[in-house]
Amino acid sequence: MKLVVATGNRHKLKEIREILKDFEVISAAEAGFFGEVEETGETFLDNALLKARAVSRATHLPALGDDSGLCVDGLGGAPAVYSARFSRMFAPADWTAEGDDDARNRAFLLYKMQGMADRSAHFCCTLALCFPDGRELTAEGRTFGRILTEERGEGGFGYDPLFFSDDLQKTFGEADEEEKNSVSHRGRALRRLKELL
């Protein structure tokens, strides 16, 4: 079965291809979809559905939308759906940090969690698979751990070097791809979706 993934994120596309090996996974661009779907939802599910529906409608193919993020207990579950835009949306004007969005988000997270004793957190991923005939399947995966006070490891992306995984007993930044996929929120959600399929 051909399946379009509604993401431009090459890390995610790679993880999805590795787990859904039985499917012909193509990117939105490969299916001729170059639009940007705005993530205006307040939940991971809202955003996953927004993306999958838009791409399925435009390409007339089954489309997989995902939304994911980091939820930190001591921050009331934030940054959640704002994980990718955390520092851009919430950092005060006088706060500065070097680097790309991911590096700045990690720096801002450490800044927000200064002196915080409860550092427990989880990643969440929600997937929505929408078919051109209107059928929809959804699946969710979570992975638990804690936020360190400094980065460890250079692998992965986003918050990976700060996230110490309960399952792996090291950060996602220190894990190789296979290890991360075996316990990650996205890995778990994808395996659940595969079972549903």
Catalytic positions are 67
Q: Are strands 63-72 and 24-27 parallel, antiparallel or unpaired?
A: unpaired
In the numeric block, the tokens 């996230």 are attached to: 163
Q: Are 37 and 59 in contact (CB under 8 A)?
A: no
181 binds ligand IMP (CB under 6 A): no
67 binds ligand IMP (CB under 6 A): yes
For ligand IMP, which residue of 2, 14, 157, 196 counts as binding (CB under 6 A)? Answer: 157
Options 23-31, 55-63, 158-166, 187-195: segment touching ligand IMP (CB under 6 A): 158-166
171 binds ligand IMP (CB under 6 A): no
Would you say 43 or 135 has its CB closer to ligand IMP? 43
Within positions 115 to 154, which residues make up the interface with ligand IMP, using CB under 6 A?
123
Would you say 42 or 133 has its CB closer to ligand IMP? 42
83 binds ligand IMP (CB under 6 A): yes
| Residue 112 amino acid letter | K
| Residue 22 amino acid letter | D
105 binds ligand IMP (CB under 6 A): yes
- Of 54, 184, 69, 195, nearest to 132 (Cα)? 54
Q: Are 31 and 55 in contact (CB under 8 A)?
A: yes
Q: Are strands 24-27 and 2-5 parallel, antiparallel or unpaired?
A: parallel
87 binds ligand IMP (CB under 6 A): no
